Homo-oligomer: A and B are copies of this chain.
Amino acid sequence: MTIVDPDAPGRRSTGFELAILGSLAESPMHGYELRQRLSVSLGSLRMFSYGSLYPMLRRLTGSALIDTHAGHEVDPAPLTSKRSRVVYCLTGAGRERLSVLLGDDGPQAWSDEGFEIHLAFFHRTTAEDRVRILEGRRRRMEERREALRLAMPRAADRLDAYTEGLRRLGLEAAEREVCWLTELIETERRGASPTTRLPDAGPA
């Protein structure tokens, strides 16, 4: 008597898969390097440990989404040793999977972390996909904003200046992000140019 719902994906996507496939799409890499790149491109948030990474690489290899080859052409360094530098690269199936993940909006793409990962690989997406994901994220942020606006005055006490301050910070952050997203969506819709810039890129 299996419990798992047939609809439910066996694996809750957390963007980790997207991050790996997206990185490997830029260029083949070995695990160690992959992790270092991710820790940069996924800025601060979400550090994946090796204990997470290597099993994931195995799983992806098992699904034939990535391929492990001995590292010819990629690295001129001596790698004719017994053990070292397993270089992974995307397979055709991996590329397909990546484009599905890139275009796949859904709750996971709107979450704080998932959205950041999606954004990091936006340059590989179509304008339509970008607009769809940006709109989804905006909806999510609008909900958060409304929830914070309506947040209870907390049972007749003004003792909670502490919580109130945090609420205000969160509210302002949500408002700012909604504005930013709206600008991005507008820009994306006007000039469908894939290389869009923020409007206020002043002398800064």
Contacts and interface: CB of A to CB of B under 8 A. Distances in A.
Nearest to A161: B197
**Chain A contact residues: helix, strand, loop or mixed:** helix
Interface in A171-197: 172-173, 176-177, 180, 184, 194-197
Nearest to A40: B152
A162 B122 contact: yes
Interface stretch (A14-22, A84-92, A143-151): A143-151
Nearest to A44: B147
B123 A195 contact: no
Interface in A29-45: 40-41, 43-44
A4 interface: no
Give this chain's copy count.
2
Nearest to A122: B162
A167 B144 CA distance: 20
Contact of A176 (B151, B161, B172): B172
A119 B177 contact: no
Given A144-B44, A151-B43, A152-B40, A169 B165 contact: no
15 contacts: A40-B152, A43-B167, A43-B170, A44-B148, A122-B160, A122-B162, A123-B160, A123-B162, A158-B197, A159-B194, A161-B197, A161-B201, A164-B198, A169-B176, A173-B176
